[in-house]
Structure 1
Amino acid sequence: MANIDVSRVVDDAAFGKLHLRIILSCAILLIVDGYDVFIYGVVLPQLMEQWQLSAPQAGSLASWALFGMMSGAFLFGPLGDRIGRKTCITICFTLFSVATFLNGFADNPTSFGVFRFLAGLGCGGLMPNAVALTNEYAPKRMRSTLVALMFSGYAVGGMVAAGIGIWLLPRFGWQAMFFAAAVPMLLLPLILRGLPESIGFLVRRGDQNRARAVLERIAPGQAAGASLAWPEATTSQASVAELFREDRTLGTLAMSLCFFCCLLMVYALGSWLPQLMRSAGYGLGSSLSFLLALNLGGMAGAISGGRLADRFGLPRVVMAYFGLGAHSLALLGFNSATPVLYLLIVIAGAGTTGTQILLYASVADFYALPVRSTGLGWASGMGRVGAIVGPLLGGLLLAAKLPMALNFVAFAVPGLIAVFATALFSLSRRRVHRRASLAMAV
């Protein structure tokens, strides 16, 4: 019986209905995930008033969810390589949806923080597995675009949170924002029907029948009477140690630094932008509209960045976006006309949230199939350290009562550091690809 290299069939496949279902299903999951992540920045002004929280206390409360996301990334990323991406996605989505709903019943900062930690576990675990699954099925010629398009659902979730908050908060209070998180659970069975399990995972586990059924949907007629193989799946084992072998050490460390810097900026802005704008004299509605613009920029940046990356390569686009994001953040601290201010916020969204999405695509492209979720989970987990620092840094900056310009300059510095880290990652990426090409030639 002849062997078929499944990875080559997937790489060369035409975009079809199965690809569309995977993109849409994972995008919907990440819309809910993004809603859960950005909800804290939306409700923060009301929480600070109701519970008499100082800025450092509010920043500390935000870190509960971020510790959960860090733990979830480290836990469910590697677990996805062992028990399957779809299984982990189901567990994570259920966990953060239920915990977010229960958050609406919290009556003190401690119980609020506990539920936010549990929700963070699910959010942190969902992302690496959704990205790994989409990356695996996406045809090679449009992979960055499709991963970015799927992950833009995360930015849409932030826009939904800000949009709903503008209407819901003045009428029903902050609790209603969390109760609304229960609605997507009704869609879970339908979403899961659109998601196949990782075909590489099925091949590696020896489940030829299920893998053949999936491959038949991607490329009809090519799987009949053949044994399926995924050569890449036999080259390494699912362990964190593999991330530092075969010239991957520099790339792993550089990408960890990129994630740290990027998520520091994302979560500092997501948690504090409305409050910063209120301090500058804007009303609650206007402040939330700035958060809406930030996430609109993130979505637009992700989609445009994915298309550019398929043409010019991910590292070049990531460096350009980080540079643009850092400069626009620094300019936010100066007095500008309202249209210019919105434009700068949109660009900042592209250079932070949008670039985060491109980073996930970079990591998915860097690691082999058996350690892809592990690598994504590791990078995401390291990024969550930056996500924890971001809100804490924002709280300390506000407590120090620095000029507005210095606050935004402080948020911009990590973007410049990330430009340098991405350049190092690009060097490592070339070495790894060269090594893989030589191995295939032999």
Structure 2
Amino acid sequence: MSTDTSKDAAAPGISPAGTTRATIAARFERLPLSRWHVTVRLIVGVVTFFEAFDQLLIAYALPELRDEWQLSTGDATAVLTVGSAGMLVGALLSGRLADRYGRVKVIAYCVAASGLVSLALTACTSLTPFLALRFVQGLAIGGEVPVAAAFISEITRSFKRGRFVLLYELVFPAGLTIGALVAAWVVPAAGWRVMFAVAAVPGLLAFLVQRGVPESPRWLAERGRLDEADAVMTEIEAKVSAATGEPLPHPSAAAPTAQEPAAVATATPAERAATGPRGLFTGRYRRRTLVVGAIWFTGYFVNYGVTSWLPSIYKDEYGLTLSDALLYSTVTSVAGLLGCLVVALTVDVLGRRRIFAICLGASAALLLTLAALGAGTPAQVLIWTSLSAVGFFGSNICLYLYTPELYPTRMRALGCSVGGAVNRLGVILGPILVGVVYAAGDSVAAVFVMLGTVALVGAVVAGTLAEETANRPLEEISP
């Protein structure tokens, strides 16, 4: 291996004999952003885009399903939440599987299963098989999203990691938004079955993932497969070097902390050995798990409490036509996408903790203002919920960046999957409690009081207890 500290042109990698978890991390730290990173981000991003597309369809199909199958309020709530229950279970299972068998395999299998189930949903003629299939599809969607977040974090260096990861994560709210736009046009014109048929096509992307995306070298090294980690890392380095047209800097020059990061030096023996579900509650990871879990829950409680019921509220409370109700709801989703973009461009400057506190705090203020105004007209609901969506969408997308940073490679996917499971609790309870308050209350304003209060709790927890991780190597943050 060359001893030149400025370049290593002859051999971008280092020999298998010298490969360790620390050297793999150092080699990632010296990689400049390149076409290779963008290509992998695009492939995984397209998969995540269509998982989001599938997830939102149920909210836009619900008004038609209620008429077609004469669903009660309880039935409608079950339709909205059964997929989320599947996602909760899928998230918990996928983290363990991805930490044991690899990130890319789990992603590919999940997207294939989601596509097949979406096709099967088009044949449903009654509620019971529909609910069963939506639960299975939830298993797949819930499994893919957190594992993909862990994978993207692991192939990214620390400098401006927030912007890179969140520009990838934008595909999820983009999928929600485009799904809303397409559904608002297709469902009234062609029916809900056509939408689920369209959503089945991307299942073919599973083959693209398997062929076009390498396994995470960080994960391979963590599993003791050092020769494979070195081979994959060497291939990545060669592609990055070819894309940039420049030799890569020497790993030790690019990442001087790789040999013994400060966090590793100060970690307790229990923290260094922490793994599995118990590891998430060992030492420093206990507080991280509780804090990030609270932010996941409150953010998604508000998000889905608002977006899942908006089409039905517009239609039933204010007498809008189905087309208008879906259009109004789509505006809120578009506003949320704008919030995600703003967060992606500012998260490395403001930091994760400030983003959570600002976004959730602003959402709380806006929702409580809407409640104080009485939510008397659909225009009021449209304006204030859309402004609030800028905040809670922005906070929620940041969680897909923040959570993988809080855990070491050996339990990173598990940590992400637990976060995904907790967010499913919010996704399930949000629509349920909104349904209860909406059905029992004299005014829809009570719904927004509840949602604003939950957002405020999330803002306080984040602002006072969240740990800052911006621009720090993963191995330094999480020993």
| Match 1:281 to one of 319, 327, 333 | 319
Residues 322, 415 of structure 1: 8 Å contact kept: yes
Describe how 1:22-421 pairs up with structure 2 within 5 A: 22-204=40-222, 205-206=225-226, 207=228, 208-218=230-240, 235-236=272-273, 238-278=275-315, 279-333=317-371, 334=373, 335=375, 342-421=382-461
Aligned to 2:9: none
Q: Which one has the bigger helix percentage?
A: 1
Question: How far is the alpha carbon of 1:210 from its aligned partner?
Answer: 2.6
Larger Rg: 2
Residues 165, 177 of structure 1: 8 Å contact kept: yes
Residues 10, 218 of structure 1: 8 Å contact kept: no
1: CA distance, partners of 2:387 / 2:170? 15
Q: For each residue in 1:306-345, what CA deviation from the matched residue of structure 2 results, as whole angstroms up to 9, or x when unmatched?
A: 2222012101111100111222233445458887754433
Residues 73, 121 of structure 1: 8 Å contact kept: yes
Q: Percent identity?
A: 24
2: CA distance, partners of 1:402 / 1:38? 28
* TM-score calculated relative to the size of structure 1: 0.90
Letter in 2 for 1:345: T
Change (3 A) 1:357 1:437: closer
SS at match of 2:32: coil
Letter in 2 for 1:147: V
Residues 321, 351 of structure 1: 8 Å contact kept: yes
Aligned to 2:10: none
Question: How far is the alpha carbon of 1:252 from its aligned partner?
Answer: 0.7
Change (3 A) 1:340 1:215: farther
1: CA distance, partners of 2:362 / 2:212? 37
Greater alpha carbon shift after TM alignment, 164-173 vs 4-13: 4-13
Greater alpha carbon shift after TM alignment, 190-199 vs 283-292: 190-199
1: CA distance, partners of 2:103 / 2:273? 18
Change (3 A) 1:236 1:100: farther
1: CA distance, partners of 2:95 / 2:139? 11
Letter in 2 for 1:122: A
2: CA distance, partners of 1:140 / 1:257? 25
SS at match of 1:260: helix
Residues 362, 391 of structure 2: 8 Å contact kept: yes
Residues 215, 223 of structure 1: 8 Å contact kept: no
Change (3 A) 1:402 1:351: farther
Letter in 1 for 2:322: L
SS at match of 1:402: coil
Letter in 2 for 1:305: V
Residues 96, 122 of structure 1: 8 Å contact kept: yes
Q: For each residue in 1:36-62, what CA deviation from the matched residue of structure 2 results, as whole angstroms up to 9, or x when unmatched?
A: 111111011111111222223211232
Corresponding pairs, count: 435
2: CA distance, partners of 1:340 / 1:22? 42
1: CA distance, partners of 2:47 / 2:367? 29
Residues 98, 106 of structure 2: 8 Å contact kept: yes
Task: List runs of 5+ in structure 1 lacking aligned partners.
Answer: none
Change (3 A) 1:401 1:142: same
Q: For each residue in 1:117-151, what CA deviation from the matched residue of structure 2 results, as whole angstroms up to 9, or x when unmatched?
A: 01100111111111111111223222111222111
Change (3 A) 1:236 1:146: farther
1: CA distance, partners of 2:232 / 2:27? 16
